[in-house]
Structure 1
Amino acid sequence: PESRQWCLDLGAELVVDHFGDLPAQLAEQGVSAIPAIACFNDLDRHYSAMAELVAPQGRLASIVGNKSPLPFQELRDKSVGFFWEYMFTRPRFDTPDKGRQGKILDAVAAMVEDGRVLTTRHEVLGRIDLDNLRTAHRELEAGHVIGKLTLLGFDE
């Protein structure tokens, strides 16, 4: 309930339990196909549901990697595109548009300052030390963290 409300407060129109059956939950709310889906967490777990839910000629994107091979043939008959997004591609590979990285960051900073983009930071665990790092890791591994956990600066 708390994470659902948090999502609604951030502007979500529809919230599902990512541990549950995504297609069934969406069907209950009248959604059978989604034109574009972005995965920000555990691609291996969510790929099948994404492949099932994406609309014909739709788009899938992910910022997280996969541990198992993805069966892309599931997307072929629907003519679905799959896109990876990695924030360091431009500088790492010295792409011709690498200057765009700074423009994107400036635009996001302006949206944050204007209040159009809200932080996803939900909990500050305190200074970064072994105990707080272990706590953060334990919470993240459990998979029930709301938003982002924050550890504050290193001791000098």
Structure 2
Amino acid sequence: MTETTTAIGYRENLPVTDENCLITENVPLPTCGEHDLLVRVEAVSVNPVDVKLRTNAAPDGLRVLGFDAAGTVTAVGSAVSTYKIGDEVFYAGVVDRPGTNQRLHVVDERIVGRKPATVSFADAASLPLTAITAWESLFDRLALTENSTGTLLVVGATGGVGSVMLQLAEALLPNVAVVATASTPEGREWVRELGAEHTVNHRGDLAAEVARIAPGGVDWMFTAHSEGQIPMYAEVVAPFGHIVAIDDGPRDVEPLKNKSITWHWELMFTRPLYGTPDMDRQRALLDRVSQLVDDGIVRPTTARTLTPISAATLRQAHEAVETGRTTGKIVLHGWG
């Protein structure tokens, strides 16, 4: 008899209000490739990419979502050299393999970090995808270093990626002034607690508010919401500045040309999708983030916790994320 494990996914692109938009099924137990770990998933979190795929991507059978997990290694592939059975890990997976919303999940060891020892599985699961995205945006795409000086504008600062980015900038970029967008008193308090020196309201006249802080324009910008915003970005970014975007973004960046502004895309799945030679840098950066957490420098960004991990609780999380107004991360832990 084939061994199975519980998985939660979708077979149809249905609205979140439909109770069948996410369903529970038993699926064959995953088997490890040579570089793989089999992980008993203890906690997961929900990201905008989960919502995007559930509503738009053809399922081709049961498509299991989930890109954040924390759990315990239960088996290892023949070429695994970093982990052993019993190790506690956290990671973000990849889009071309089944997701983390299952009791037992297979993942390549080269994109897996050691879980921070000082926090719960639930809090650890709030971090991987957003930490990788924030790290790669700051240090790989924008090429910032501890010696960088200037001003960074973070658009979407109260979201998952922004919440980690503010902390990384505070800890590792001492000479970079951070301006964070937030439209509510709670949001402004959140981003200041995470290290932002200045706040601006992205629902108001953002260009005017940024100009009062950085009259010559900001040197770097991170954005999670770039569609339709390029003319304004051309106004608020300084000549020879850099913008990094994580959404699907614009198709026309011509307004940036006069200032020679550089546009970067960031997709944290690129390394594992293409098996790049530096793929294990994701493991290294997750280990660095784990140490920053254990040192009390970076904190998990859990804003809401649901239990157990089920189709019903995942629907609740998807519904909240779909509003686009969540602060921090929604985490689920334990299996019913």
Smaller-chain TM-score bracket: 0.7 to 0.9
Task: Tell me by how many angstroms 1:45 deviates.
Answer: 5.1
Query: Could you tell me which residue of structure 2 aligns to residue 19 of structure 1?
Result: 203
Pair 1:7-2:191 in alignment:
yes
The two structures have a TM-score, normalised by structure 1, of 0.83
Deviations 1:53-105 (A, max 9, x none): 11110100022223xx4321111111111111222211211222222222111
Tell whether the 8 Å contact from 2:245 to 2:265 is kept in structure 1 after alignment. yes
1:38 positional shift: 0.7
- SS of the counterpart of 2:192? helix
Task: Flag the structure with higher helix content.
Answer: 1
Aligned to 1:35: 219
5+ residue gaps, structure 1: none
- Aligned residue among 216, 221, 227 for 1:44: 227
User: Could you tell which deviates more after superposition, 101-110 or 138-147?
Assistant: 138-147
Task: Tell me the residue number matched to 2:268.
Answer: 87
Aligned: 1:77 with 2:258: yes
In the other structure, the counterpart of 1:123 is: 304
CA offset digits 1:123-147 (Å, max 9, x no partner):
1133333443333233223222111
Shift of 1:12: 0.9
Q: Given that residues 301 and 328 in structure 2 are in contact (C-alpha distance below 8 angstroms), is that contact kept between their aligned partners in structure 1? A: yes
Q: Which moved more, 1:124-133 or 1:49-58?
A: 124-133
Counterpart CA distance in 1 for 2:294 and 2:264 is 29
SS of 1:127's equivalent? coil
Give how far 1:18 is off. 2.6
Please say if residues 230 and 255 of structure 2, whose CA atoms lie closer than 8 Å, have aligned partners that are also in contact: no
Number of the residue aligned with 2:241? 58
Deviation at 1:11, TM superposition (A): 1.0
TM-score where L is the length of structure 2? 0.41
Q: In structure 1, give the amino acid aligned to 2:221.
A: I
Q: Distance in 2 between matches of 1:19 and 1:128?
A: 34
Equivalent residue, structure 2, for 1:108:
289
**Identical residues among aligned pairs (%):** 38
Note the residue ranges of structure 2 that are not aligned, 5 or more in a row: 1-184
1:135 to 302, 308, 316: 316
The change in CA–CA distance for 1:77 and 1:153 in structure 2 (over 3 A counts) is: farther
Deviation of the 1:116 alpha carbon? 1.5
Higher strand share: 2
